[in-house]
A and B are shown apart, each in its own frame.
Chain A
Amino acid sequence: MLKQTDKVVPSEKLPTGHAVLALKGVTKTFPGVKALSDVSLTLYPGTVTALIGENGAGKSTVVKILTGIYQPDGGAILVDANPTVFSVPQAAADNGVTAIHQETVLFDELSVAENIFLGHAPRGSFGLIDVKTMMSKARALLDGIGAQIDPEHKLKDLGIANKHLVAIARALSIDARVVIMDEPTAALSHKEIEELYALVESLKAQGKAILFISHKFDEIFRIADNYTVFRDGQLIGDGAIKDVSEADLVKMMVGRDVSQIFPQRTRQPGKAVLKVQDYAHPTEFDGIGFELRKGEILGFYGLVGAGRSEFMQSLFGITRPSAGSVEIEGAPVQIKSPADAVANGIVYVPEDRGQQGAILDLPIFQNVTLPSLGRISGNGFLRLAEEFKLAREYTERLDLRAASLDTHVGNLSGGNQQKVVIAKWLATQPKVIILDEPTKGVDIGSKAAVHEFMAELAAQGLAIIMVSSEIPEVLGMSDRVIVMREGRMAAELSGDDLQPETLVRHAAGI
């Protein structure tokens, strides 16, 4: 099933240097699943290696093997060319390997300094933790990376960008030689990303080997020296980044050419479906008002923390606004709970689909019908035949491949779980669908599929609100864009005003 033809391993192109950490022929199998098959990966000091692959290509498994969370079934981990076994995560740390995860794995209730030194805190008399030394060392580390963070603050008081900086300080505190960054820019704003790049450069200058996992090609070409591409758990290619083009990498990743990224759409918005006026919340947003038409895609752009998701959650009835009115097809509606929103034809596909999307212990059909139970029941009793029909109709529409609708969602692949979540919302036959970061963390092949699907839904007359932080996506998909800044609408743009610079200017307030 896997294509071997385009597998190239031009190892001679790699810089000749002393590899600090390498995987050789590593295989990892889970019951029924071969996650990695004979893959190799080499990291050099002072070099940034980008690990590229679609979701499910085996990137996370590699990270877990490198950090001692998983043990490989075959092959070897080489530290300075010596075979080494990372039997526990601590062993990886002892060998100078550390990872900064996509979602920071730190402790909210502990102080910044405690987070940095957890497990290797400086000891004083009687083996007790020497708090004073710990604080001053933490301060020095944070200063060293240009972070203005008080080490005595609790971690929960920091923003996501600063949490990343703490994670980096922690990495430096164990004198790491290899730093693994798993999609570090996913949750960062433009400015914070620039700061992270600068930090990566300084880590490089200190001779650290960096493994950089990212979906974003612009940043890969910006900061990586080498690349390694995985597909379906196999090594497809590696080499120096200067020798390849973006198209080459995409081709290796998906095994095919991806030319047209955004679907062509004919814009023919119909009559207004949703009208929001003077929508406000005491602390999160104020003065939001707009109209949304049938068949229209309305983009919401802004920096992380601009209040977009908060507004959407309120529109969906999860939080209550302090003022404002909502009209659906000209009739005023009161949305006091998500159930009201669903009943009025508004659905919300949240950003964190794993957390907020599917119920893993329930079978596919029960997940799909969950918001539609009212329609397929009478006096509280479910009509199972109708339920199955509804579930079948919408899973087939999304081409969901699973043996049976009885399969528990937890046993499905990430892509199919996402299909279940989308099928669930479409089954409610909504008028307005709010998609919060619809392609966040989605690989490039599936991204195009999601975009096509959105275009198809709009063509069928659904009104779509798309919250996105990716400028190409906002520009490529939206008919109109509302830019939010600090909880307010900074601009409403359409037509020729839809330019990247304009968006960024309004979002940043310059």
Chain B
Amino acid sequence: MLKRFITSREALLVGAIAVLLVLISFRFPAFVTPGNLASVFNDTSPLILLAIGQMIVILTKCIDLSVAANLALTGMVVSMVNVAAPGLPIVVILMIAIGLGTVLGMFNGILVWKLRIPPIVVTLGTMTIFRGLVFLISGGKWVNSHEMSPAFKAYPRAELLGLPVLSWIAIIAVIVFSVVMTRTTLGRAFYAAGGNPHAATYAGINVGKTQFWAFTISGALAGLAGYLWVSRFAVAYVDIAGGFELDVVAACVIGGVSIMGGIGTVAGALLGALFLGIIKNALPVVDISPFWQLAISGGAIIIAVALNAQANRTKGRIILKQAEQAT
């Protein structure tokens, strides 16, 4: 068991994150204090939520480029709802955010499932549509901090056992989806549908429907992140989280999720997001120019993919009997 963990992709990432933290601590020791690490985690929480959803979508051989636009649209809708009805309880706001995100995700899913349009095309289209809708409903105007109700802004920051609610939501999502992926028939279907769609079909799994559910989950998480994002930054506008879908995909890829489908774990998505989050938070404090920051983030992605490609190389089939018994 231990041996398997040590040779796993997740362990490699844990190691890489540890090395990264040690390197940073030489330049800036305060970065690795528990307090700061907690705040880095909190900062990375929206990325973790989206990366979990994206991981499931990629697992089924699809991709969801519309997550950031979904986040922006739900964020704008709940902000405007809050402005219009400041007294609405946060529970209702959360339900609206998750509900709307789910519907947007289902829309992607239906197009992929029923019309069999390639996912990259579908979500490239809906990404633009969702952004357009943000503009339409807001008229291009911002919803600013002073327009939002205090309760609306306070929720993700509220502290519970020393951690903000935002962090707790990410932690809960990690636990819930770890269970979903390993302990439910739906989770198994995600792996099967992406690992070998033909075999999954013959086993009685509806591959299209499985992909639909993946998009639905991704949409729901994007919707949830939409509210958390606008309330945390206390602002909603058209270009919110612009380009963030690429960070999300990058987190998955760094986390060992195979872009070919069928391989990936919640832990991988979590670690991939954290790795990216640490780099993004650390580079400014160790005084690296913003231009280099982008290049370094990009470099990290390519290195991670290269390492994964090496790990995925076939080791050759086991033909000799003694070799098979030895594994």
Count chain A CB atoms within 10 A of each CB in B199, B318, B321 and give the residue with the most. B199
Choose among B184, B189, B205, B323 the residue that contacts A381 (Cβ–Cβ < 8 A).
B184
User: Chain A interface: which of B7-15, B136-144, B190-198?
Assistant: B190-198
Is the beta-carbon distance between B322 and A358 smaller than 8 angstroms?
Answer: no
Instruction: Kindly state the separation between the CA atoms of A416 and B318 in the bound complex, as whole angstroms.
Output: 10
Chain B residues near A424: list those with CB within 8 A: 203
Q: Which residues of B contact A338 (CB under 8 A)?
A: 201-205
Question: In the complex, what's the smallest C-beta–C-beta distance from A426 to chain B, in angstroms?
Answer: 13
Residue pair B314, A339 in contact (C-beta under 8 Å): no
Residues of A within 8 A of B206 (CB): 337, 339
Query: With an 8 A cutoff between CB atoms, is B262 at the interface?
Result: yes
- Tell me whether A380 and B319 are in contact (CB under 8 A): no
Cβ contacts under 8 Å, A371 to chain B: 202-204
Chain B: number of interface residues, binned into ranges: 35 or more
Is B321 a contact partner of A401 (Cβ separation < 8 A)?
yes
- Residues in B neighbouring A342, C-beta threshold 8 A: 203-204
Is A32 within 8 A of B318, CB to CB?
A: yes
Contact (Cβ within 8 A) B199 A382: no
Q: Is the CB of B315 within 8 A of A31?
A: yes
Which of the 9-residue segments A13-21, A114-122, A390-398, A407-415 touches chain B? A407-415
Complex Cα gap A357–B201 (Å) = 10
Shortest Cβ distance from B180 into chain A, in angstroms?
9
Contact in complex: B203, A380 (CB < 8 Å): no
Q: B327 at the A/B interface (Cβ < 8 Å)? A: yes
* Most B Cβ at <10 Å: residue of A30, A56, A355, A358: A30
The answer to whether A337 and B202 have CB atoms under 8 Å apart is no
Q: Which among A33, A34, A316, A406 is the interface contact of B317 at CB below 8 angstroms? A: A33
Indicate whether B183 reaches chain A with its CB closer than 8 angstroms: yes
Partner of B183, one of A32, A381, A411: A381
Report yes or no: B318 in contact with A411, Cβ–Cβ below 8 A: yes
Contact: B183 with A384, CB < 8 Å?
yes
Residue of B203, B324, B325 with most partner-chain A CB within 10 A: B203
B192 touches A359 (CB 8 A): yes
Complex interface bits, A341-380 against B, C-beta within 8 A gives 1, otherwise 0: 1110000101010011111111000100011011001001
| A31 and B316 within 8 A (CB) | yes
Number of A positions contacting B (CB below 8 A): 52
Q: Is B186 an interface residue (CB 8 A)?
A: yes
Contact A355 B198 (CB under 8 A): yes
Query: Does A35 sit at the interface, judged by CB under 8 A?
Result: yes
- Contact across chains for A348 and B202 when beta carbons are under 8 A apart: yes
CB neighbours (8 Å) of B203 from chain A are 338, 342, 370-371, 424
Residues of A within 8 A of B320 (CB): 32-34, 232
Given A361-B191, A366-B188, A377-B185, residue A403 in contact with residue B325 (CB < 8 A): yes
Q: Which residues of B contact A370 (CB under 8 A)?
A: 188, 192, 199-200, 203, 205
Given known pairs A348-B202, A380-B184, the reply for A362 and B191 (CB within 8 Å) is: yes
Cα separation A424 to B203 with both chains bound (whole Å): 9
Q: Are B202 and A374 in contact (CB under 8 A)?
A: no
Contact check, A359 vs B315: say whether CB atoms are below 8 A apart.
no
Taking the nearest CB of chain A, how far is it from the CB of B134, in angstroms? Answer: 35
Q: Is the CB of A359 within 8 A of B185?
A: no
Contact of A361 among B205, B263, B316, B325 (CB under 8 A): B263
A147 cross-chain contacts in B, Cβ below 8 A: none
- Chain B 1-21 near chain A by CB (<8 Å), digits 1 or 0: 000100000000000000000
Q: In this assembly, does B326 line the interface, its C-beta being within 8 Å of a C-beta of chain A?
A: yes
Q: From the candidates B192, B198, B319, name the one contacting A413 in the complex (CB within 8 A).
A: B319
Nearest CB in chain B: distance from A232 CB, A: 8
Known A337-B206, A339-B204: A356·B318 in contact at CB below 8 Å: no
Contact status of A33 and B327, CB under 8 A, knowing A362-B195, A366-B191, A382-B185: no
Chain B, 157-198, contact with A by CB distance < 8 Å: what is the 0/1 string? 000000000000000000000000001111011011001101
Quick one: given A356-B202, A382-B185, are A361 and B314 in contact (CB under 8 Å)? Answer: no
Q: Is B318 a contact partner of A358 (Cβ separation < 8 A)?
A: no
Q: Does A498 contact B (CB under 8 A)?
A: no
Contact present for B204 and A362 (CB under 8 Å)? no
Decide if A128 is an interface residue (CB 8 Å cutoff): no
Task: Give chain B interface residues in 260-284, CB to chain A under 8 Å.
Answer: 262-263
A331 within 8 A of B: no
A32 touches B316 (CB 8 A): yes
A402: Cβ under 8 A from any B Cβ: yes
- The answer, yes or no, to whether A233 is at the interface (CB within 8 Å) is yes
- What residues on B are CB-neighbors of A510 within 8 Å? none
A384–B179 CA distance with the chains assembled, in angstroms:
12
A337 to B263, CA, bound (A): 26
Distance, CA A229 to CA B52, complexed state (A): 52
Q: Are B262 and A359 in contact (CB under 8 A)?
A: yes
Contact check, B185 vs A380: say whether CB atoms are below 8 A apart. Answer: yes
B188 near A403 with CB under 8 A, answer no
Q: Check B196 against A358 for contact (C-beta < 8 Å).
A: yes
Residue in A359, A373, A410 whose beta carbon sits within 8 Å of that of B199 in the complex: A359
Q: Which residues of A contact B189 (CB under 8 A)?
A: 373
The 10 A-B pairs of least Cβ separation, nearest first, read: A30-B316, A339-B204, A359-B195, A356-B198, A371-B203, A359-B196, A370-B203, A342-B204, A361-B262, A373-B185
What are some 11 contacts across the A-B interface (CB < 8 A)? A30-B317, A32-B323, A56-B319, A233-B319, A343-B204, A350-B202, A358-B196, A360-B196, A370-B203, A380-B185, A401-B325
11 further contact pairs, Cβ within 8 A, besides A33-B320, A350-B198: A32-B316, A32-B323, A33-B316, A339-B204, A361-B262, A366-B188, A370-B200, A373-B188, A381-B185, A411-B315, A411-B318
